[in-house]
Structure 1
């Protein structure tokens, strides 16, 4: 079964690393025509592309992928017949770190998320995981991560069992991580684990053969959030006619304990010629080993304590809250107000096409000086498009780990319930730029 038109075209542009303008030029069509092909099929402006265009794109992709495989084989000293797929992230593997991903495998997961969008948007239903059970083991507070994992699994037809906090776990009685993990393996087909201790999720994974997904381990990593962030940047850049290669990413806030920033910068460093501006209070800088890794990969890394000097030319402004709950003796930095992202600063300092992201939750209390709510309703603020993307990305992760990714398209059925055009009263319907 052919993938939906929008999914097919986005995957093609991602594979060929082309903007809308260059892709339209390659196809010999107008950008306006391509924009109508890329719209969701429920849009009034949607147009079906000619079958000859799909065949032409299929031929282009086949040639491009053949060249990529040959180049990879030559690099590793293999013949084409000896090449094997990357098994770091696949059926019955664990998802513990973004280090498991290459650029190609991350892009492939994003392409699968595109295919999941009709289900995530409630236009279609899918039952490929009917009968499967997810164990959501959250030993630390969570709203978005826990609920979006549960929603993703439910929307694929599975069921979810939750444990939240140490109080309601046998670990409060002294049970080891090994024993907990092995026990839960008898009840569920996949585990999502969030734990306050860095490295703890790897201990869960070492005790079981069912897939374990890292939902956040202390100040370590949050790989699925980074994949959501990457997918959101891809979508926003596609709308704006930009490529990630060569982009300027400003990351602001608590970079020492902000595990989402650790995972995201490593994932974005898989792209080419990146510039990273890392802005934080002096005591909350990005760990030195991560900065060193990014620099080793050939990227430009600027460490700064001044917001105004770092974000002027940025394409993406990724801001995080100050995670005081993880402090181990550090004093709360003075002048936190100088790191607040608000409408006045964005208007005065940033490019007009800036994309503003935040992994949430944002701290809206007085004196927190986090991402200000005065940007709500502004098209540059993509935080709720970002949270919405948690469902299709996590659906794609489950489908890959449990080996049903090839069954999704043929299992889609129309949803029967009414769904609003936008999910929030302040949401903006964004059409392609240009």
Structure 2
């Protein structure tokens, strides 16, 4: 995606405007705006006039000033605290829960993620974290999250020290979480931790002042996954000219133990007028405390065990696998292959622009009750765009928590190697790295 597209889509997102409303605000025809948003290699793409770019910049500057202005002093607003301070956990630069964010801080983080896109897409290089070392402590199996965090840190110039599983850690010898965290803090500059027990990552964070990021704590939360999921929804909606406000989200699968949906529904509840269709058998329904939180924010919640009812008319379908590792002495009841999100159902019940998402891994074996592989070539399937977005989002988190987000723009230089225009051979145009 070129800078003109990024600039316009970011402006629409920050102003919370659809394409129609944005073109009206600019005083241009919708058709003109559409041509400015087309890929640069499209035959119908057009360059945005310099006057329009200046006008959009003025609108954004005015909106930012209005947001900052608290009325203190004669026409002067106090300087906003750095984002890391505003999302701090107990005054420290940790990311433990999505509850640390409000809508404004989320949007600010997404702007940093947008800035990271050229680096994540292998077009630019930055070394703002050169010399920094990340400690990656995964006490549960992980592929995507562990590699994604490591790649994000490396793309900013840092290096990674990795360990996976209890067997290969001193905790197998009885060492406490406190001791492990404090020792690691003497070796590294940031920690990413995944642990099977809810609340365990917060214990790591209490033992140190270096940034600690929760990469999943049992059935608790997975905040960075939820942030990249919402970032993906916003980017997909921007491409489609839609808003998150007022959208219909269907969540399907293991909603009891699925920490990704626990975090995502909390973030989505920061928006306005959403409808949630929660599709799960009675044994795997969303925890009541989350239902209460969402309901307090005025959203509509429908719980059903019928996939057909839940998918009908949804703007976003978020499927999850069953979290078998969370079941201790429990039977999995009612979760049959009828819960598989498959192409025939999507075609019959969903819109042409519905977004299909999944945190991965998904079970692609025949008869699995998961997101079906027969959707692999459907343009509505966003799972690989979703995983790609994990890199700029996690880069943004590292940059913010380590205080270098304002150094990134001036640190970038062209990459010295050639990268493919599309990572996968079957990627759609808007999946590509160009």
TM-score (norm: length of structure 1): 0.93
Question: Following the alignment from structure 1 to structure 2, what is the Cα–Cα distance between the partners of residues 252 and 194?
Answer: 24
Residue 340, structure 1, aligned to residue 340, structure 2: yes
Which is worse superposed, 40-49 or 175-184?
40-49
Alignment of structure 1 residues 18-29 onto 2, 5 Å: 18-29=17-28
Question: Hey, what's the Cα distance between the residues in 2 that align with 1:328 and 1:32?
Answer: 57
Structure 2 match to 1:166: 166
Structure 2 equivalent of residue 208 of structure 1: 208
Per-residue deviation, residues 188-209 of structure 1 (Å, max 9, x unmatched): 1110000000000000000000
> Does residue 1:267 correspond to 2:267, yes or no?
yes
Structure 1 range deviating more: 87-96 or 337-346: 87-96
Residue 221 of structure 2 is matched in structure 1 by 221
SS of 1:142's equivalent?
Answer: coil
The answer to whether the aligner puts 1:89 opposite 2:84 as a matched pair is no
Check whether the contact 2:247–2:315 (CA below 8 A) recurs between aligned residues: yes
| Greater alpha carbon shift after TM alignment, 83-92 vs 128-137 | 83-92
Equivalences for 1:113-128 in 2 at 5 Å? 113-128=113-128
Shift of 1:421: 1.8
Q: Secondary structure of the residue that 1:430 maps to in structure 2?
A: helix
Q: Residue 132 in 1 paired to residue 123 in 2?
A: no
> Judging changes above 3 Å, is the alpha-carbon distance between structure 1 residues 40 and 113 closer, same or farther for their aligned structure 2 residues?
farther
| Contact kept? 1:95, 1:213, Cα under 8 Å | yes
Total equivalences in the alignment: 424
How far does residue 374 in structure 1 lie from its aligned partner after superposition? 0.4
Task: List runs of 5+ in structure 1 lacking aligned partners.
Answer: none
Give the superposition deviation at 1:377: 1.4
- 1:350 is displaced (CA, Å) by 1.2
Greater shift, 315-324 or 82-91, is seen at 82-91
- SS of 1:233's equivalent? helix
Superposed CA deviations along residues 184-228 of structure 1, whole A, max 9, x for unmatched, are 101111100000000000000000000000000000000000001
Distance 2:354 2:173 in 1: 50
From the superposition, tell whether residues 222 and 117 of structure 1 become closer, same or farther in structure 2 (CA, over 3 Å).
Answer: same
Contact 1:216 1:222 in 2 (8 A): yes
Q: Tell me, which stretches of 5 or more residues in structure 2 are unaligned?
A: none
TM-score (norm 2): 0.93
Indicate the larger mover: 218-227 or 302-311. Answer: 302-311
Q: 1:5 Cα shift?
A: 3.5
Instruction: Tell me which residue corresponds to 1:362.
Output: 362
In the TM superposition, 1:392-411 aligns within 5 A as: 392-411=392-411
1:51: which partner in 2? Answer: 50
Could you say which residue in structure 1 is the equivalent of 2:306? Answer: 306
Distance in 2 (CA, whole Å) between partners of 1:280 and 1:189 is 41
2:53 counterpart of 1:64: no
